[in-house]
Structure 1
Amino acid sequence: MSQSAGSQSTGHDRTGIDSMGMAAATVALPAQLEAALVAAEEVVGPAGSEPITNVVVLGMGGSGVAGDVISALAAPQMRVPVTVVKGYECPAFVGPHTLAIAVSFSGNTEETLETAAAAHDARASVVAVTSGGRLAELARHWGAPLYEVDGSIPMPRAAVGAISVAPLVALERAGLLSGVAGWVGATVAQLCARQDSTGAEVDSLDEIVSAIGNGEMLPVFYGGGALGVVAAGRAKAQINENAKIPAYASAMPELCHNELAGWDLAGRLIDGSPLAVIALRHDFEHPQIRRRYDFTRRVLDGARVAVPYAELRAGGDGAMAQLFDLIYQVDVLSLRIAAAARRDPGPIPLLTELKTYLASDDI
């Protein structure tokens, strides 16, 4: 069963539980991308005196996805390697020939602040992408290029367009990339086309959505190649944060070397499958990955308890358009699951509690 997420409605209006306007922010993604491009093009830099031989993207959570986007879209077009850093440690290779792009929507993410400071101390060329906070203060103090993100966006995960466009423009300004405006234009066109669709196809996922929302089943997202892997990771995180439900993500072809072997005994006959696989497909898959999906589908259908399988397929002209088309679709899906679970997709109280704990003196 192949599905596409149209968006006359994200589905969250079915319950009205959306205190922060996450559904509206999702629908506004095309406009967000356009506005981010305009804002980023007004920023000067980076323009360091040393040649750039490597790039690191520093970020966590909803902001850190920018690093994944850069790795999938920009890295294959660039002559220098890209490393995504999600943690407290700055790689030892970072130095005067490094372009370090620090991404934190709030500007106060402790891991990102620590790695950005370490990169600056190592004499890297630092670029900041943020709506404010301590990161903005540091960028101004360092004289580093500051790409400001719209702070009215309700949550970092809803700012995926803004936090992804700015680093792409920064790479272009550094002479490492070209054609970003065209990429964004094609992406906006595809998202608008997706939003103009009827939404009938995604409605056929209602049975899986209901089962996940009711706690009867958990989703496993499969993505192949660079674009699919980013989309699968995004899907997992969106289900976690929007619906407050566990979810899992795996990558093709790696899963065919291990995880696939575990499906034959999935679940008990009396219970049915506790999992559903949702594959995120695109036109840039290696031909052998397509064959691996076909084989995996047969395994799932033939398991002791057949595992539900569905696909979301990307459209659009170019890699960025197809990646963001998948991102949009899984965002819509996560909101529908949140609605089925009757969860407000905005607040994340447990993660807020963790930040408060980490900032305290408790041991």
Structure 2
Amino acid sequence: MTLPRNDTPVTTAPEAAADSLDLARAVAGLPEQMEAALASSQATEGAVDGSRIANVVVMGMGGSGVAGDIVSALAAPLMPVPVAVAKGYECPAFVGPTTLAIAVSFSGNTEETLTAATAAHDAGASVLAVTSGGRLAELAGEWAAPLYEVDSAIPMPRAAVGAISVAPLVALERAGLLSGIADWVDSAAAQLRTRRNAADGDGAAADPLEGIVRAVGNGELTPVFYGGGALGAVAAGRAKAQINENAKIPAFASFMPELCHNELAGWDQAGRLADGSPLAVIALRHDFEHVQLQRRYDFTHGVLDGARIAVPHAELHAAGDGPMAQLFDLIYQVDVLSLRVAAAARRDPGPIPLLEELKAFLA
């Protein structure tokens, strides 16, 4: 079935589950978080000389690693040097004395990021750290590297998306590789407040995502997020991760136009019609999509409707002035969506015991 396009605000999570870390408050405070990060970053001592930088690599994992994706999507198209994103233990082989390596770890103790950042430093790269403390802050001191401090009061890395993303952008601007970040943040914060204020009204009554939220929370559907271009791909990846971590539910993400070359062929799925589709597609749309992506979305909607087992699908649309505003508008919407799914599933969106078990196992 086709669900209506969603031009209504995403609303706050229903009071159906505990939120022990008050992530709902952290999500609602995203515009203020971005503004505070801008002020803090602009006041940070030390800057890298961009005239000697030939390439940039952003290192990070999980809720911190999304900073690299955001920098790549927003800044890379405007910068005179290439930007790479590294998510893992390995430092790219090209890293050397003309590299700016930005290490992002909210806790400062992410082992993959520490390993890669140390390798970058040893290779002669200019390193700067974005963290709330931990070993990464200690290394920044030992290396005399600029340290962009993130507010440690933020409850979890995934709730610090504004802080960990604004800091690298400001660092790139201070290196002379980018400009206009304050205006970007101002526009994004204004749009987020508009979205937040709208959600406080009565726009939730006709929310076309309510059925999908309830079905995902009940385990009847698994969400698949589609994003177009670089901005949409970041938003889709963020949505997947937030459903995984906040609702503790599987989710998947793909991006246009690549999915039209492979994944699209898989929607004419086999199975018993009586069972219905096990999947639902949520498209994350923005105004900076290539003109051909609109036609690809239209075709994809027809495929989903005409599949042997019709696939439920809906859209979230970004608003705001500029790419950063629209990207963070989508991030805000999917963050709130994940909290709604967690509430429907009656799961606390805060702690993730399984990941703590993994850390203990690796230790």
Give the partner amino acid of 2:126: S
Alignment of 1:71-82 (within 5 A): 71-82=72-83
Q: Report if aligned partners of 1:26, 1:332 keep a CA contact under 8 Å in 2.
A: yes
Q: Which residue number in structure 1 is paired with residue 160 of structure 2?
A: 159
Deviation at 1:44, TM superposition (A): 2.5
- The 2-side partners of 1:229 and 1:38 are apart by 28
1:231 paired with 2:235, answer: yes
Q: Which residue number in structure 2 is paired with residue 249 of structure 1?
A: 253
Deviation at 1:59, TM superposition (A): 0.0
Deviation at 1:200, TM superposition (A): 2.1
Give the partner amino acid of 1:6: P
Q: Which residue number in structure 2 is paired with residue 319 of structure 1?
A: 323
TM value normalised by structure 1: 0.96
Q: Which residue number in structure 2 is paired with residue 204 of structure 1?
A: 208
Q: Which residue number in structure 1 is paired with residue 16 of structure 2?
A: 15
Give the partner amino acid of 1:108: N
SS at match of 2:244: helix
SS at match of 1:24: helix
Pairing partner for 2:280 from 268, 276, 283 = 276
Deviation at 1:180, TM superposition (A): 0.2
Q: Which residue number in structure 2 is paired with residue 336 of structure 1?
A: 340
- The 1-side partners of 2:290 and 2:220 are apart by 34
Q: Report if aligned partners of 1:46, 1:125 keep a CA contact under 8 Å in 2.
A: no
Alignment of 1:1-363 (within 5 A): 1-4=4-7, 6=9, 9-12=11-14, 14-48=15-49, 51-197=52-198, 198=201, 199-200=203-204, 203-265=207-269, 267-359=271-363
- 143 and 276 in structure 1: CA distance in 2 versus 1, 3 angstrom threshold: same
Deviation at 1:268, TM superposition (A): 2.4
Q: Report if aligned partners of 1:106, 1:130 keep a CA contact under 8 Å in 2.
A: yes
Q: Report if aligned partners of 2:31, 2:193 keep a CA contact under 8 Å in 1.
A: yes
SS at match of 1:90: coil
- The 2-side partners of 1:308 and 1:201 are apart by 20
Deviation at 1:206, TM superposition (A): 1.1
- The 1-side partners of 2:89 and 2:206 are apart by 39
SS at match of 2:94: coil
Deviation at 1:49, TM superposition (A): 8.3
CA offsets, 1:240-289, max 9 Å, x none?
Answer: 00000000000100000011011012542010010000000000000111
Give the partner amino acid of 2:220: E
Deviation at 1:139, TM superposition (A): 0.3
Q: Report if aligned partners of 1:45, 1:174 keep a CA contact under 8 Å in 2.
A: no
Deviation at 1:204, TM superposition (A): 2.7
- The 1-side partners of 2:247 and 2:8 are apart by 17
Deviation at 1:5, TM superposition (A): 6.1
Give the partner amino acid of 1:140: G
Q: Report if aligned partners of 2:17, 2:342 keep a CA contact under 8 Å in 1.
A: no
- The 2-side partners of 1:202 and 1:183 are apart by 32
Deviation at 1:179, TM superposition (A): 0.1
Any unmatched runs of 5+ in structure 2? none
Aligned length: 357
- The 1-side partners of 2:115 and 2:344 are apart by 39
Deviation at 1:305, TM superposition (A): 1.2
Give the partner amino acid of 1:337: V
- 50 and 91 in structure 1: CA distance in 2 versus 1, 3 angstrom threshold: same
- 61 and 201 in structure 1: CA distance in 2 versus 1, 3 angstrom threshold: farther
TM value normalised by structure 2: 0.96
- 73 and 49 in structure 1: CA distance in 2 versus 1, 3 angstrom threshold: closer
Deviation at 1:48, TM superposition (A): 4.0
Give the partner amino acid of 1:174: A
Percent identity of the aligned residues?
A: 73
Q: Report if aligned partners of 1:33, 1:184 keep a CA contact under 8 Å in 2.
A: yes
SS at match of 1:99: strand
Q: Report if aligned partners of 1:4, 1:201 keep a CA contact under 8 Å in 2.
A: no
